């Protein structure tokens, strides 16, 4: 019996996968959730222009995205499960210290520490979710990713519910959150270490070669999707400047919250219909809602954000599993590329959009955002079929 077949008969390890999902919630709450939403407060408190303010997102995403593939490649050779706890601790601590930032340089250093922690956390956490998945790869990754997406959704809500009352110094309360994260993740490290040792022994038996063309195409799809997500979260408060900041961030919650629901449902459906089909369908369905967004008002905007977020982010877990199939012998690197490098490119997109806003105004940015799903849909059509990959065949053989 091959290792792939044996893996196909393993059940889902529920305690482990929900632990990884909870840690993912805490990590993404303070990084991809709160950092883009805090751009408005950082801009006001430190008197920054649009380009300087969005550089916060750039530093956060670059430190995370550059380091995730590096950490992933390193831990593919020798697992370091302690990075799971250290990573989520640093991501929370770094953001908490921005509450006492008195200039842009200090702010960017703290954001960089937070991003570095996120970069260390994601490859080990995603590898752990892969090991806990058994035969239910799509479901396991959807549970893991929905934790992160829920964190991204609740991040903007921290402003109207908490920081609008405490001010920027209220971020210091996330120091206890950093300590809580160590307790949450520490109890799973021993199990994870044993599973990674077993996985390393079976790695040489894995069939299939890396599909580099598919990797490049999938990274491009993830980058475009990330530009959509980050662009909406960062610039929606500026686009809806006639409304209160609290209401704008609530609309951001609608967008990312519906995306978290889409992530969970998309992961479950992909186990039945296939990864590529789900990815293509999600990007195509998102197109009309993206085109409509710059022209909506009132309740129609809320409805459009609900549908746009659900459709465009329903492929979030799917792209992680897809990347792991394209890089069957480098699970850590696959996680770093799909969650890190590709998603982190959203920080570059946010800074470019900030420069466009300074020159041409925010409405131009929203017009640009409306065409990105079309590009993602076209790219996804050229991805290889996951049904023909060796891992899929092995799974069916079981």
Q: What is the pLDDT of residue 9?
A: 59
Query: Looking at 105-114, 200-209, 321-330, 375-384, which range is the least confident one?
Result: 200-209
Element (H, E) at 66: helix 50-77
User: Could you name the CATH architecture of 3-397?
Assistant: Up-down Bundle (1.20)
pTM over 0.95: no
Query: Looking at 88-92, 168-172, 283-287, which range is the least confident one?
Result: 168-172
Place of tokens 């990084």: 31
Query: Looking at 95-104, 137-146, 195-204, which range is the least confident one?
Result: 195-204
- Mean pLDDT for 266-292 is 90
Element (H, E) at 40: helix 34-46
Q: What is the pLDDT of residue 226?
A: 86
* Per-residue pLDDT tens digits for 288-329: 999 998 888 888 989 999 999 999 989 888 888 898 888 887
- Mean pLDDT for 65-87 is 81
- Mean pLDDT for 90-96 is 94
Burial class (CB in 10 A: 0-12, 13-18, 19+), 330: buried
Here the contacts of 201-204 (C-beta below 8 Å, separation 24 or greater) are 202/3, 203/329
**Phi/psi at 134 (5° precision):** 65, -130
Return the top range by mean pLDDT from 10-19, 266-275, 306-315.
306-315
- Mean pLDDT for 196-220 is 72
Q: What is the pLDDT of residue 286?
A: 94
pLDDT of residue 336 exceeding 80: no
Give 363's Cβ-side CA count (13 Å radius).
3
Q: How much of the chain exceeds pLDDT 90, in percent?
A: 22
pLDDT of residue 236 exceeding 90: no
Q: What is the pLDDT of residue 106?
A: 93
């Amino acid at each position: 019996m091959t290792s792939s077949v044996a893996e196909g008969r393993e059940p889902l390890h529920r305690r482990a996968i929900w632990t990884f999902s909870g840690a993912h919630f805490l990590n993404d709450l303070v990084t991809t959730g709160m950092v883009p939403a805090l751009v408005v407060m950082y801009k006001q408190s430190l008197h920054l222009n649009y380009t300087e303010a969005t550089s916060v997102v750039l530093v956060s995403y670059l430190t995370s995205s550059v380091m995730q593939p590096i950490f992933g490649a390193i831990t593919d050779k020798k697992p370091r499960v302690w990075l799971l706890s250290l990573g989520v601790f640093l991501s929370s601590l770094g953001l908490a210290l921005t509450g006492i930032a008195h200039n842009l340089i200090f702010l960017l250093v703290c954001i960089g520490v937070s991003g570095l922690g996120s970069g260390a956390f994601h490859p080990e956490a995603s590898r752990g979710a892969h090991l806990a998945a058994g035969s239910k790869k799509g479901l396991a990754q959807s549970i893991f990713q929905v934790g992160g997406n829920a964190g991204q959704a609740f991040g903007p809500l921290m402003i109207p519910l908490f920081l609008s009352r405490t001010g920027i110094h209220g971020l210091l309360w996330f120091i206890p959150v950093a300590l809580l994260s160590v307790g949450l993740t520490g109890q799973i490290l021993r199990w994870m270490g044993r599973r990674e040792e077993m996985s390393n022994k079976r790695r040489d038996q894995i069939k299939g070669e890396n599909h580099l063309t598919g990797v490049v195409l999938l990274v491009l799809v993830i980058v475009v999707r990330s530009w959509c997500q980050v662009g909406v979260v960062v610039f929606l408060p500026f686009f809806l400047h006639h409304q209160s900041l609290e209401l704008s961030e609530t609309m951001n919650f609608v967008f990312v919250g519906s995306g978290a629901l889409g992530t969970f449902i998309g992961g479950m459906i992909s186990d039945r219909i296939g990864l590529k089909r789900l990815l293509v369908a999600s990007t195509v369905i998102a197109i009309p809602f993206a085109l409509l967004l710059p022209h909506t008002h009132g309740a129609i905007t809320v409805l459009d954000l609900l549908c746009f977020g659900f459709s465009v982010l329903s492929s979030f877990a799917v792209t992680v599993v897809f990347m792991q199939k394209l890089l069957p012998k480098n699970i850590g690197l696959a996680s770093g590329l799909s969650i890190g490098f590709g998603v982190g490119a959203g920080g570059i997109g946010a800074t470019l959009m900030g420069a466009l806003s300074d020159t041409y105004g925010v409405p131009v940015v929203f017009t640009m955002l409306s065409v990105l799903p079309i590009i993602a849909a076209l790219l996804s059509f050229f991805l290889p079929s996951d049904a023909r990959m060796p891992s899929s065949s092995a799974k069916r053989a079981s």
